[in-house]
Amino acid sequence: MAPDLETALLRAFVSSVRSGSISRAAAALGHSQPALSSQLRRLERTVGRQLLHRGTTGVSLTKAGEVFLPYAERILSLSAQAVAATGPDVAGHCGIGLMEDFVTPSLVEALGDFSVLHPDATLELVTGPGPLMKQALADGRIQLALCDPFYLAETPRWTVRLPLIWSAAPAPAPALDVDRDPLPLVLFSQPCRWRAPVLDALEAAGRRWRIVFESTALGGVQAAVRAGLGATALLPSNVEPGTAVQGLPELSEVEVALVRSAGTDGEPLVQAVEDLLQHMTDTASGGAGTAVQESPLQTG
């Protein structure tokens, strides 16, 4: 008989991976570091494999951990949705606007699972930069937008600050020398406002840089990094296994906000999708994000 996987242990594992540190994950989850370490050891005993490499600079995934991570994320997502499924009937149409940084395989699977649990609900996913989100909200095409709050006039339901992590090609691929001068960079094309924290951090550290590749798509940025063209900065959930690098200036956090269109208060479908997005945002930050603001829905 297969052993049961406790969601508390899975949450400890996912948070440790996404934050890159057991101590940071423990602080975010409200546990002591020894308690969280004990949970991780229990999980590894349950699955019978080592899932994490532990070092002085943090944690990283083993090969078994890389295989296990998407399953752990999906179980946590299904658990949250199963609780929500017992609430009011969820039906109708909901448009969701997302910056592409959040359109990960885990989110697509979570939305697919949501549709299975709520067969009378129809979801539409709209991705693009902030100005597109602003227009889609104004047109009524989307009811929820998760993006840089700079572009949105509405008061956010909640905001969160998320870490950026350096990513570069590892060996045996054409590995990037992070000491190269000037440092080659792979960045999202304008009008991405997350370029500023990257360039500011390099300038403050006295590092010269040059942009060698730009893309409007996350897949394009990740492909350029894999090819060894340059270093980039991504949310933890978008850093591919083995590409996180040390030795570059520490990056400041970036702010993301959830905005909901006026007049949707009390709509079960919109609320259920908002809850899912908040859960996925927490997962993307590994619990390392900092809640900044939560405000009541603006109906005026």
pTM: 0.67
| Sequence-ordered list of residues with C-beta below 8 angstroms from that of 2, at least 6 positions apart, any chain | none
Structural domains in the chain?
A: 7-79 (1.10.10.10), 88-162+255-294 (3.40.190.10), 165-252 (3.40.190.10)
How far apart are alpha carbons 194 and 234 in whole angstroms? 9
Q: Could you tell me which residue, 135 or 237, shows the higher pLDDT?
A: 135
State yes or no: pLDDT of 24 exceeds 90. Answer: no
Residues 207, 233: contact at Cβ < 8 Å? Answer: no
From residue 52, how far is each of 14, 44, 59, 127, 287 by CA, in Å? 11, 9, 6, 33, 17
Query: Do the Cβ atoms of 77 and 110 come closer than 8 Å?
Result: yes
Q: What is the pLDDT of residue 292?
A: 42
- What CA–CA distance (Å, rounded) separates 34 from 23? 9
Q: What is the DSSP letter of 231?
A: B
Closest CA to 238 of 248, 230, 226: 226
Q: Which of the listed ranges 22-26, 38-42, 279-283 does the model predict with the highest average pLDDT?
A: 38-42
- Tens-digit pLDDT profile for residues 27-50: 767 688 888 899 999 999 999 999
Over range 271-292, report the average pLDDT.
Answer: 68
Report which listed range, 55-64, 100-109, 254-263, is most confident: 254-263
| Predicted local distance difference test score (pLDDT) of residue 85 | 60
Top pLDDT among 292 and 99 is at 99
Residue 283: per-residue pLDDT: 62
Q: Which two tokens stand for residue 39?
A: 């949970």
pLDDT at 299 over 50: no
Question: H helices of the chain, where?
Answer: 7-19, 22-29, 33-47, 63-85, 105-117, 130-139, 195-204, 218-226, 268-285
Angstrom distance (rounded) from CA 254 to CA 148: 8
Whole-angstrom distance, CA of residue 97 vs CA of residue 91: 19
Residues in contact with 58: Cβ distance below 8 Å, sequence separation at least 6, in sequence order: 20, 21, 22
Q: Residue 10 in contact with residue 43, Cβ under 8 Å?
A: yes
Q: What is the pLDDT of residue 32?
A: 85
Residue 88: pLDDT band with limits 50, 70, 90? low
Is 294 a residue whose pLDDT tops 60?
no
